[in-house]
Amino acid sequence: MFRKIIRRDLHVCALALALTPLSAAVAEVNQAPEVRGHSEHIAAGKVNASWIWARDAEGDRITFAITKQPKYGRIQLDWNTGRYEYQPTANATGHYDEFEYRATDGKSWSAPAVVQLNLLPADGGAGNRAPEATSQVLAVNAGTLFEATLLGRDADRDPLTFSIIDYPRLGSLKLDGKTGRYSYRAYRDQSAQDSFSYQIRDSKRAHSGITKVRLELRSAAQPPVTPPVTPPVQPPIEPPVVPQPPVQPTLPPLDPLLRTKADFSPMVREVLDNEFFVEHFQHAKAGRLEAVLASIDFLARQQQIQDPDLNKLLYYVRAYNYFLGFSKATPAQLSMLEHALFQVANMRELLTYQKASGQVIEGYVVGLGALMATPQSSASIVRHLPRLQSLLQHFSNTAQLSKERSYGDAVFETLNLFDRFGWAEGALRSALIQDNRFADAIAELASSRNALWLNRDGFIVMNAIEALGKLAQLSDGVWREGSNRAVRQVMQAHLGQGVLDDLELKSNFRSYYVDYAYRADVDGACSSLFNGLCYKFEIAQVLPQTHVCGPTLKVRSQPLSQAQMLEICQSLGKQEQDFHRIMQTNWTPVADDLNATLELVIFSSREQYQKFGGLLYGFSTDNGGMYLEGSPWLAGNQPRFFAYVQAGQVWNLNHEYVHYLDGRFNQYGAFGHYPLNLTTWWAEGLAEYLAWGSHFERGMNDISRVAAAQRPSLEAITKLSYESGSSMVYHWSYTLHRYLQERDPARHLALAAHLRRNDLAAYRLALDELNRSHGAQYPQWRDQLLASWQQQPRSAAQLSDVQDMPEHATAHQRQLDTRASLARPPRD
């Protein structure tokens, strides 16, 4: 979890100047060409022939220009094709040279890209030499699977890794990165031209140039199509050695004053050095967001994918969106965000399978999701679509995707982004429905060898089905037919294979595909278009057991023994008595609360909880329990507490029941009625204190490990939020309730009284007075409590790592972001 300010004077001016063209960039329809630099190792004194790479999203014809000449040699460029020759000067004394180029489609210029030239001695025998890739033109039968091997060599005989830079448009490609062996299958039987580009890296991280393989597709049903020959455009008679700067270039670095990380502004250092995923962090501080985005742009341009600060700063983008929301950002800020993400998208090692890449991919796609905040900013995502296509194919083609844990979140968030695309508008919607390759690529991933995480977890399959369902909403006709074909491919790949539960798969298909694609007639679509693919679990089928503990509590569960049910009722009955005795409620609900009866829903295991919680009730199951209060002022509202059995006990049973009691008898209104940065400590700490009393081993073991200087103050506890971390939310807040009950119970009850009366102003004043009266005394009591706890003998089981325990839900209501995924995340 991670952070940023602007340096004054010149630094501020530079950022302001950089913002001016950014504001207009989002509105432009034309997308500038994409370029990518590379490195080469060449023998000094010898001519090096190679080519520079560019791509245009609209397919416009591209020409090239050198914008910065090399220092130790001369460049001769064919500005139509990008092919060049580099001739080192006879007296070259350096070991390194470089030149810079740009590309234009006749409307806009690309960002600059740098070609690095590492000069070896004349015989080429010293130092590492970059591998070489060879272009090919191959004839392919479009109706069958085509297999071949990429051509590459390394003069030093280093181990080589092959990676795809630009995937084909008309078919799917699978590559073995270690051998260069690949397979290609055209999406349709047609005569056409397709191509892809690749690059080779040796074990010393030297890269080849980007090389293209052209595929001449031949249809079995049609005669070959001979493409028209376009004569090359003649270059100017006297082309300038250094062309004039473009009139409207793609944006330069967001902050041209950044040369090293030492130049990062103090506000960036604040982000990097502090916990920022908390509400009280100064997210809205003027210039912070801009400085973070400029730093992301810098690190991406420097190709620093292994730098943990890049991951931290991308995570800050998530935090900013969570607390402030990019829907309130200015057009210039949204443009800066897109610009920084585009630099991340074009990092050379983004599609190299490694931990850092998984983390950066996650941050990248989450950032793109933030651009969905407005129709104007979502239009800027269009130029990222080719990269997203490459990401999906990268996930499919990686030898063993689940070997690196960071890729679990990367895949989940990527599919979550496609969920959001189901509500795309304007230019983004048009770009998506013009090309159904995404449906094919998602289906390919969900049908590939990597579809089952760790060979058993189907979260990728379930989330792919949901993404296809939401994308299917975009249009009817050919688009919908393509989505239907893709999702059938996924279903056919897994039904009857014995790994996934067929009924769960069919239920997910109905809930996450048909419910979105055919919302008007789900049953009709299931019985006609998708006959045999749908299934609907009924609540009574999954949770057949019911029991009434008393007038305020009923239980619906998977099978429990009579002894278990009796223990649950007795435990919660005692908890209810203790709550009313300690909080002195007089058994009187707060005003406007009609939640007279709680329904306790219990699953037999965490796996069953994750399997059915979202399907039956539509809530996230990435937690250890959930209380959904609903709208307590509405007649017929049914509050529910969801839990599961673990190690023979109902996990978080008493904790979640206290939430119900607190909401009905202490806190006025529904969850979120009061600011969460003022009441999270109250709700979660009270639930832990009343559930565990003075025997809270898990929490005490956790906080007793914290050094005295790092322990939070009373004021810090009362201002925490759900993103402050489980230790703060549950364990330190527990200590404050325990302290108040032991040292000042009257003040404890007074705080509850303000919450009951819906008097937020009085509650705020009471918290201020609490800090003044007990701010110095609480730390003394706290330290004495922990010292005493540390001296008590305990077994190894009692000292088990608290991080192995499932956390409670971090919000006790269904989140209203219906565009995000409801399909389950990766299992632990």
Q: Give the per-residue SS3 of 342-360.
A: HHHHCCCCCCCCCHHHHHH
Helix ranges (H only) for 281-354 are: 288-301, 308-323, 331-345
Torsion of CA 629, 632, 634, 640, to 10 degrees: 30
What separation, in Å, do the N-terminal and C-terminal C-alpha atoms of the chain show? 20
Q: What is the CATH number of the domain that holds 571?
A: 3.40.30.160
Segment 710-754, tens digit of pLDDT: 899 999 999 988 767 788 999 999 999 999 999 999 999 999 999
Residue 358 forms part of a structural domain: no
Segment 583-612, tens digit of pLDDT: 999 999 999 999 999 999 999 998 899 888
Parent domain of 580 = 539-653
Query: Model's pTM, two decimal places?
Result: 0.60
Res 250: pLDDT: 43
pLDDT of 28 higher than 50: no
Residue 353 forms part of a structural domain: no
Same-domain pairing of 688 and 619: no
Same-domain pairing of 76 and 141: no
Nearest in space to 278 (alpha carbons), one of 722, 747, 803, 752: 722
SS3 at position 161: strand
Res 268: pLDDT: 95
Residues 213, 217, 219: CA angle, nearest 5 degrees: 170
DSSP code for 257 = T
Residue 75 forms part of a structural domain: yes
Model confidence at 625, pLDDT cuts 50, 70, 90, reads confident
Same-domain pairing of 419 and 510: yes
For the record, the structure tokens of 303 come out as 């190709």
How many other CB atoms sit within 10 Å of the CB of residue 440? 20
Nearest in space to 443 (alpha carbons), one of 485, 402, 480, 502: 485
Query: In what helix (H) or strand (E) does residue 99 lie, and over which residues does it extend?
Result: strand 96-104
Res 224: pLDDT: 46
Contacts with 635 (C-beta within 8 Å, 6 or more apart), sequence order: 594
Same-domain pairing of 407 and 531: yes
Q: What is the mean pLDDT of residues 3-9?
A: 29
Res 793: pLDDT: 67
For the record, the structure tokens of 661 come out as 């009691």
- Long-range contact list for 738-747, CB < 8 A, 24+ apart? 738/689, 738/694, 738/785, 739/774, 739/778, 739/781, 739/782, 741/582, 741/689, 742/781, 743/774, 743/777, 743/781, 744/773, 744/774, 747/773
153 against 232, higher pLDDT: 153
Segment 118-146, tens digit of pLDDT: 776 544 444 677 788 888 888 888 888 99
Segment 562-574, tens digit of pLDDT: 999 999 999 999 9
For the record, the structure tokens of 747 come out as 């003040």
Residue 740 forms part of a structural domain: yes
Model confidence at 797, pLDDT cuts 50, 70, 90, reads very low
Number of structural domains (the chain) is 6
pLDDT of 695 higher than 80: yes
Same-domain pairing of 149 and 170: yes
DSSP code for 463 = H
pLDDT of 26 higher than 50: no
Looking at 492, 512, 536, which one is the last position of a domain?
536
Segment 284-339, tens digit of pLDDT: 899 999 999 999 999 999 999 999 999 999 999 998 988 788 988 888 899 899 99
551 against 3, higher pLDDT: 551
Same-domain pairing of 412 and 478: yes
- Long-range contact list for 711-716, CB < 8 A, 24+ apart? 711/779, 711/782, 711/783, 713/775, 713/778, 713/779, 714/770, 714/771, 714/774, 714/775, 714/778, 714/779, 715/771, 715/775
Contact 778, 736 (CB under 8 A): yes
Paired with 74 in beta bridges are 87
Report the distance separating Cα 399 and Cα 415, nearest Å: 20
Looking at 473, 502, 536, which one is the last position of a domain?
536
Same-domain pairing of 392 and 530: yes
Same-domain pairing of 258 and 337: yes
Model confidence at 34, pLDDT cuts 50, 70, 90, reads confident
Same-domain pairing of 496 and 567: no
Q: What are the φ/ψ torsions at residue 99 (nearest 5 degrees)?
A: -140, 165
Residue 435 forms part of a structural domain: yes
Contact 579, 690 (CB under 8 A): yes
Same-domain pairing of 391 and 518: yes
Q: What is the mean pLDDT of residues 91-106?
A: 76
Helix ranges (H only) for 227-330 are: 266-273, 288-301, 308-323
Q: What is the mean pLDDT of residues 270-281?
A: 81
Report the distance separating Cα 426 and Cα 416, nearest Å: 20
Q: How many residues does the chain have?
A: 828
Nearest in space to 629 (alpha carbons), one of 653, 580, 593: 593
Res 44: pLDDT: 60
Report the distance separating Cα 510 and Cα 439, nearest Å: 18
Q: What are the φ/ψ torsions at residue 579 (nearest 5 degrees)?
A: -60, -50
Report the distance separating Cα 795 and Cα 800, nearest Å: 9
Residue 152 forms part of a structural domain: yes
Report the distance separating Cα 78 and Cα 84, nearest Å: 6
Model confidence at 235, pLDDT cuts 50, 70, 90, reads very low
Q: What is the CATH number of the domain that holds 772?
A: 1.10.390.20
Share of the chain above pLDDT 70, in %: 86
Report the distance separating Cα 1 and Cα 275, nearest Å: 6
Helix ranges (H only) for 594-732 are: 606-617, 653-665, 676-692, 697-703, 714-718, 726
Residue 163 forms part of a structural domain: yes
Q: What is the CATH number of the domain that holds 87?
A: 2.60.40.10
Report the distance separating Cα 541 and Cα 545, nearest Å: 9
309 against 652, higher pLDDT: 309
For the record, the structure tokens of 474 come out as 């975009």
How many other CB atoms sit within 10 Å of the CB of residue 17? 11
Looking at 120, 146, 177, which one is the last position of a domain?
120
Helix axes 288-301, 331-345, angle to 10 degrees: 20
Report the distance separating Cα 578 and Cα 568, nearest Å: 15
Helix ranges (H only) for 371-435 are: 375-379, 385-397, 406-421, 426-433
Report the distance separating Cα 258 and Cα 790, nearest Å: 49
SS3 at position 59: coil
Same-domain pairing of 178 and 52: no
Q: 353: buried, middle or exposed (CB in 10 Å: 19+, 13-18, 0-12)?
A: buried
For the record, the structure tokens of 449 come out as 């060898």
Query: In what helix (H) or strand (E) does residue 565 lie, and over which residues does it extend?
Result: helix 562-583
pLDDT of 243 higher than 80: no
Torsion of CA 610, 613, 616, 617, to 10 degrees: -150
Report the distance separating Cα 751 and Cα 757, nearest Å: 10
Res 630: pLDDT: 86
Segment 350-370, tens digit of pLDDT: 999 999 999 999 999 999 999
- From residue 196, give the alpha-carbon distance in Å to each of 65, 135, 235, 659: 23, 10, 27, 57
DSSP code for 29 = S
Report the distance separating Cα 129 and Cα 125, nearest Å: 9
Segment 494-531, tens digit of pLDDT: 999 999 999 999 999 999 899 999 989 999 999 999 99
The alpha carbon of 10 is separated from its chain's Cα centroid by a whole number of angstroms, namely: 35
Residue 248 forms part of a structural domain: no
Helix axes 477-494, 459-471, angle to 10 degrees: 170
Nearest in space to 376 (alpha carbons), one of 23, 818, 21, 18: 23
Report the distance separating Cα 360 and Cα 305, nearest Å: 7
Same-domain pairing of 395 and 519: yes
What helix, strand, coil percent values describe the chain, rounded to 5?
A: 45, 15, 40
**Average pLDDT of the residues of the chain:** 84
Report the distance separating Cα 163 and Cα 38, nearest Å: 14
Contacts with 735 (C-beta within 8 Å, 6 or more apart), sequence order: 685, 703, 717, 782, 785
